[in-house]
Amino acid sequence: MDINIIETIIMIIFPFVNEFASILDESHIKCFDGLYASIPTNNKQKLIKLLIDSLSFCGIIVNTSVSTNEYGKIAGILKGLGVFIISFIIPNLCFHYLIDHICSSDSKKRLIFGLLLIGILISFEFAYIEVLKIYIN
């Protein structure tokens, strides 16, 4: 596998790993139940949450470092900040509320709607990056 493909996957998917895990957990599908506790109550849940959140932050760091390397410090900082807001802050503020109020308790609807929300945020991330490239050049 080409290193650019791996880097691209890390840059796109990793910032959203915690949201993927949260949506799988909140879908109430038995095999994913307990995967990612938003509010951990024991050490095992705390460790799993920490590891998953760490993967998400690693994705944000990779985005920042690649952009810094390609376009300079300011562009790297702006991209890292944008990816952090889009992939971490926005989902943590509103995903659970939206899923709970729109999908009630239907597991499949919760999963599909959550994945749709992640897809929308990934498209926002792409749009943000394109706008950032315009202003950098």
Tokens of 36: 């990612």
How many CA atoms lie less than 13 Å away from 34 in the CB half-sphere?
Answer: 7
Would you state the pLDDT for residue 101? Answer: 86
The packing angle between helices 43-71 and 73-84, to 10°, is 150
Q: Express the helix, strand and coil content of the chain in percent, nearest 5 each.
A: 85, 0, 15
pLDDT of residue 87: 93
Q: State residue 3's pLDDT score.
A: 67
* Total domains in the fold of the chain: 1
pLDDT of res. 133:
84
C-alpha to C-alpha distance for 39 and 115, rounded to whole angstroms? 21
For residues 97 and 85, give the distance between their C-alpha atoms in angstroms, rounded to a whole number. 17
Give CA angle at 104 (98, 109), nearest 5°. Answer: 80
pTM: 0.86
pLDDT at 42: 92
Q: Are 18 and 36 in contact (CB under 8 A)?
A: yes
pLDDT of residue 2: 59
Q: What is the mean pLDDT of each run of 10 residues along the chain (137 residues)?
A: 76 93 85 84 93 94 91 91 94 88 82 93 92 84
Give residue 91's domain range.
3-136
